[in-house]
Amino acid sequence: MKKYNVAVVGAMGAVGQEMLRTLEKRSFPVKELIPLDVLTNVSKEILFNGKTLAIKEARAGAFKDVDIALFSAGEDASRELAPIAVSEGCRVIDNSSTWRMDENVPLVVPEVNPEALRGNNGIIANPNCTTIQMLVALKPIHDLYTIKRIVVSTYQAVSGSGQKAINELENQASQYARGEEITYEVYPHQILFNAIPHIDTFMENGYSKEEMKMINETHKILDPTIKVSPTAVRIAVFRGHSESINIETEKPINIAEVREVLRTSEGITVVDDLGQKLYPMAINCKDKYDVFVGRIRLDKSVENGLNLWVVADNLLKGAALNAVQIAEKMVEMNLV
């Protein structure tokens, strides 16, 4: 089997660390792993496949002889370094929002639109975490019944904001336990015991950038005719995003058929036994690759409506895993 030189840009970050673990766990054919990060992290060490590797600086020249680079270093780094990496002969899979809506860059969820990879110009965009898990769950339903409208409310873990947000929730829990005043910096309000309907900045239309990502990315990946109405909320959970999804379809829905197609679709695990109080929960999805779907029921208020509860590990399927799966699919399709 051919092996590839793989770089991880942002190797010291939360998603970068997950990318490293995912490459290792899935036995991706790595010839040489090159961990890259900002200058202040140079010479720090990571462990990969039993070998200790020193972090190198992510800069021009670092991508020579690299076949695939997984980027999770933020928008500025992606904007500057992704074109450089491509010019040095590398394929870039980028986790930031920088390239997602570029018409020349494929935006890919492997279970949904793998054929879009054939049109890449060297950069492939990894979608937003909430979009990924929603579309994995909805693609097989869309194929059967043609979705017209999606109303989705998200309940997003603090890990989606990075390590500082994780630390803030931990600190607030400790402050509460000690009876101290609860302080906050990462979010505009206390996140402990709270739900904040504010993720990213607000736009002039009243939607947040996070919500607009779900609209625009659904149109690019799945179907530009689907109407999408999202509300994105941050909650006091460390890891795992949850979504309440309501859809309307063109064709009448057979609930037994929905359960069967979800049960047999790639990347989905159905957890839906109300008698046993079994349904997807964030606390159970950590380190799991699949998107979990439950509370599957017809919406009695509209002619062709369906409700779903969808949960996934936002650092894995919502980021690192999807990026690695893109790399796997590119290898399978002889695109690298």
User: Which positions are catalytic?
Assistant: 129, 241
Beta bridge partners of 119: none
The contacts of residue 294 (CB under 8 Å, 6+ apart) are 270, 271, 272, 278, 279, 280, 308, 309, 311
**Quick one: tokens of 293?**
């779907």
Closest to 250 (Cα-Cα) out of 137, 147, 140, 138: 147
Q: Is there a contact between 243 and 156 (Cβ–Cβ < 8 Å)?
A: no
Residues written for the chain: 336
The contacts of residue 15 (CB under 8 Å, 6+ apart) are 72, 95, 315, 319, 320
Calpha distance 159→237 (Å, rounded): 8
Closest to 129 (Cα-Cα) out of 226, 243, 17: 243
Q: Amino acid identity, residue 123?
A: I
Calpha distance 244→239 (Å, rounded): 17
- Residue 24: phi and psi, rounded to 5, are -70, -50
Calpha distance 315→324 (Å, rounded): 12
**Quick one: tokens of 172?**
């607030």
**Quick one: tokens of 142?**
């869309």
Q: Is 110 exposed, middle or buried (0-12, 13-18, 19+ CB in 10 A)?
A: buried
Beta bridge partners of 264: none
